[in-house]
Structure 1
Amino acid sequence: MTPLVLVHGFMGGSAQWNAYVTPLENQFSVVAVDLPGFGANAHLPPIDSIGGYADWVIQHLRDLRLGMYHLLGHSMGGMIAQEIARRDFERVDRLVLYATGAIGVLPGRFETIEESKKRAAEDGPAATAHRISATWFLDREAAQGFEHCAAVAAQSKLAAINAGLDAMHSWSGEQNLSQIRQETLVLWGDRDRTYPWSQTHMLWQEIPKTSLAVVPGCAHAVHAEKTELFQLLVSDFLE
């Protein structure tokens, strides 16, 4: 059984997948990481580059003695996954790029990275967690999965928030998409407020071996908004 590694995004954590990937755990050995500064690893010093996060995950998986594995990256985790797929290409079997893009500075983002840093400093981590998490869902705070998502995000301290924003601000993987060798699924909710269609289209067109899944009526958290469909799409692709 090939393990499935899940890499969360900005202000995420391994707990964000709780209750949403249970059927996948029946098919794969699921390894959900917590990036330094986030989730269960909020006590660790954060990293301020996408490449640095990728190297940390690769070393973490080696410490776990994983051989070949499937890789799924969500949001900022999708940027990290792109770097992992290139750097650890001999061990990454299939790749899922979920609600993500090829550049860190997004013209269509719900707010600029500079504005996010400014507001995080003014409002504090708890309020930032609440505000950012609301953008993940089509129904914002009224969404069923919002409270859980916000609780995971609230584990992030200001230093990790700034480091994650800096990492995205300084990264672009656009020039490296043709180097991704794995069979890849690009998965996107059609109402995503963070990553516009232009980014999804770029991944789909520029990565040599891609399939595309666009889920209607979802924002940035397809796994929480349309859980069964998310599970079906991922499991079908990986098998």
Structure 2
Amino acid sequence: MTSPLLLPLTMPKWGMSMTSGKVIEWIAAEGDHLQKGDEVVEIETEKSLNVLEANCEGLLVRRVAAEGDELPVGALLGVLAAPGSPTDPETIDTFVAEFNASFVPETVEGEDTVTGPRRLTVDGISIAHRYHPGSGPPGASPVVLLHGFGGDQEGWQFNIGDMAMDRPVRTLDLPGHGLSARVVGDGSIGYLTGVVSDWLDEVEPGPVHLVGHSLGAALAVELASRREFLSLTLIAGLGPGTAVDEEYVEGFITAERRRQLRPYLLRLFADPRLVTRDMVEAVLRAKRIESTPEALRRIATASILGVDTDPVERLHSLTTPVQVIWGGRDDIAPSSQVDGIPPSVRVELIAEAGHMVHVEAASKVNRLVRGMAAGHP
């Protein structure tokens, strides 16, 4: 580029399946002095309407994209000038021309690839899911991972690689989460379990190992009462009726800005360094998808806060081999709930981890899940 002090403002990639975005409205005007985090332009994707923020301080010297333009990820939207950089029109014109001449849209895995993002309509609901074939022996039984409340399948990013060394791994975004439709019925454990069970019928009707985190653990226990599994791993949850901090649930649902959301995300981890700016912004983007707060509230009311069930009693009725993994510093669902569970259930308490134990102690959790699956082929 002609000037290293001119900085490109490009179409972001919000989510693994995003390939393009549409410029809806410029919020910042040419000549505006922007600070890092200032709102610049509103962009519409296939699934959401979000605001792109400045990632550094600078002067917005050129709005290249027009409102209404549909552009691929990485395309030039505008030009920022760092302090002390030239802002004459000729220099900016050259910068834009050279950027566009060298720009090549990224190659994105298609819907029909083995590992790429897929969609499946289940009970009239669009479910986003992924298949990771793994490098284990042919015929190895798969592991299915169910994420927690307010999360999505990307939350397993530190676990999939290890688990896939032995066997295939399947993940999905639960109804009302991630890239799946914001259709959650009455929000109950029964409804959500029904959708997941029907999804399994379509993608993996044979025997599988089931792993659930938090809300996913509740669904896993309910699923195990309806169909057979090779093994069950419950992370930070015992099933429907697990005690959860109500103030956290309410705060997470209602938080609309970074400063409001960050304190609640900090409570998920024993190590606060894991709550990065990118993490906060990613969660906010997901929460800003239309109808997300309503879907989360319905699920919270019916499946988390409104469940009067003894989860330990449910575990006694299961015939599936079960192990429970919990963080000793869990501030959302106290680990003391493991007291009194059946002696047949293996309990692993990881003292240094919080509610997101599968992230903070990924290697330990992966080893436990792989061991459980290997012991029950």
Q: Which TM-score applies when normalising by structure 1?
A: 0.84
**TM-aligned CA deviation for residue 66 of structure 1:** 2.7
1:81 equivalent among 220, 242, 265? 220
**TM-aligned CA deviation for residue 105 of structure 1:** 6.3
1:95 equivalent among 215, 218, 232? 232
Question: Is 1:160 aligned with 2:295?
Answer: yes
Q: Deviations over 1:73-94 (max 9, x none)?
A: 10111111110011113xx110
**TM-aligned CA deviation for residue 126 of structure 1:** 6.5
Q: Secondary structure at the match of 1:60?
A: helix
Question: Is 1:52 aligned with 2:191?
Answer: yes
The whole-number CA distance in structure 1 between the counterparts of 2:339 and 2:364 is: 21
The whole-number CA distance in structure 1 between the counterparts of 2:332 and 2:346 is: 21
Report if the CA contact (8 A) 1:181-1:209 is conserved. Answer: no
**TM-aligned CA deviation for residue 127 of structure 1:** 6.3
The change in CA–CA distance for 1:161 and 1:150 in structure 2 (over 3 A counts) is farther
Structure showing the higher strand proportion among its residues: 2
Number of residue equivalences: 227
Report if the CA contact (8 A) 1:105-1:169 is conserved. Answer: no
**TM-aligned CA deviation for residue 96 of structure 1:** 0.1
The answer for the alignment partner of 2:331 in structure 1 is: 193
Report if the CA contact (8 A) 2:148-2:215 is conserved. Answer: yes
The answer for the alignment partner of 2:253 in structure 1 is: 120
The whole-number CA distance in structure 1 between the counterparts of 2:195 and 2:258 is: 26
The whole-number CA distance in structure 2 between the counterparts of 1:180 and 1:70 is: 14
Given residue 299 of structure 2, which amino acid in structure 1 is its aligned partner?
G
Q: Secondary structure at the match of 1:36?
A: coil
The whole-number CA distance in structure 2 between the counterparts of 1:55 and 1:88 is: 11
The change in CA–CA distance for 1:165 and 1:219 in structure 2 (over 3 A counts) is same
**TM-aligned CA deviation for residue 197 of structure 1:** 2.7
Q: Which TM-score applies when normalising by structure 2?
A: 0.55
The whole-number CA distance in structure 2 between the counterparts of 1:127 and 1:145 is: 13
The answer for the alignment partner of 1:211 in structure 2 is: 346
The whole-number CA distance in structure 2 between the counterparts of 1:119 and 1:227 is: 24
After superposition, residues 55-70 of structure 1 pair within 5 angstroms as 55-70=194-209
Report if the CA contact (8 A) 2:258-2:280 is conserved. Answer: no
Question: Is 1:143 aligned with 2:257?
Answer: no
The answer for the alignment partner of 1:27 in structure 2 is: 166
Given residue 270 of structure 2, which amino acid in structure 1 is its aligned partner?
L
**TM-aligned CA deviation for residue 102 of structure 1:** 4.1
Mind listing any 5+ residue stretches in structure 1 that lack a counterpart? none
The whole-number CA distance in structure 1 between the counterparts of 2:141 and 2:362 is: 22
Q: Which runs of 4+ in 1 moved over 4 A?
A: 125-129, 144-147
**Alignment RMSD (CA, Å):** 2.5
The whole-number CA distance in structure 1 between the counterparts of 2:188 and 2:320 is: 23
The answer for the alignment partner of 1:234 in structure 2 is: 369
2:178 equivalent among 31, 39, 48? 39
The change in CA–CA distance for 1:220 and 1:185 in structure 2 (over 3 A counts) is same
**TM-aligned CA deviation for residue 54 of structure 1:** 1.0
